[in-house]
Amino acid sequence: MWKWLAVVLLAVSVPARAQGVTDQTMLVAKAVTTVERLRADSNISGPLQDLLNRAKAVLVVPDLVKGGFILGAQYGTGVLLVRDASGRWSGPAFYSIAAGSIGLQVGIQDAEAIYVIMNEGGLSAVVDNKFKAGAEAGVAVATIGAGASANTTTNVGADIYAFSRAVGLYGGAALDGAGILPRHSWNAAYYGGNPNPGDILFKRSVDNHQADRLRDILSR
């Protein structure tokens, strides 16, 4: 009897664990890998670490796809985390990034990017989706990696620093003209209920311990 009971319990518990692997948990795990990989890149590790130590927030986009012929497009899903006055990182809020541009550009690129947000102005531009206005956003963004030279961009006093590693015919991880919008369904699936980004990033009324590893690596 006990033997069969153990078999039944095992059969019940395995699906329960499997259901814990979702699109959201996979993206958070990929965000950890992105931070680790960019930190290991000797071309950008120095400035990346220095800026992360002083950052107000960070947007990690593990899969930023950019490609097109004449009409270009850039899209991906990322996680935004905010650091409070005591230095503690919030849970991740899920955001989608999408942009389009017209010009003579050929190629396809699959990049991983980290946007290190240095101040309230940069954070407001992301949270309030101001980048869709392009240059009118009034926020300085410096790109490091993916064809940009780190030693020429780290001293400009930018509001946001974009670090990226990419494979393709053209580089960069620009935010100009991008729409940065919360993925409400992903936030609801990850935390339960219906939290908005403010609940996650500022009020911190919800949390998910599956993000502990990401918060830990950002704190190192």
Q: What is the pLDDT of residue 138?
A: 73
pLDDT for the residue 20: 60
Question: 56-65, 94-103, 112-121, 201-210 — which one is most confidently predicted on average?
Answer: 201-210
Given a contact cutoff of 8 angstroms between Cβ atoms, the answer to whether 126 and 80 are in contact is yes
Please tell me the pTM assigned to this model: 0.79
Q: Is the pLDDT of residue 184 over 50?
A: yes
84, two tokens:
């409070």
pLDDT digits (tens, 9 = 90+) for 13-54: 333 333 467 999 999 999 999 999 999 988 888 899 999 999
Name which of 93-107, 124-138, 206-220 the model is least confident about: 93-107
Q: Quick check: helix, strand or coil at residue 185?
A: helix
* Whether the Cβ atoms of residue 22 and residue 189 lie closer than 8 Å to each other: yes
- Is the pLDDT confidence value at 173 over 70? no
* 8 Å CB contact between 131 and 175: yes
Cα–Cα distance, 94 to 96 (Å, whole number): 7
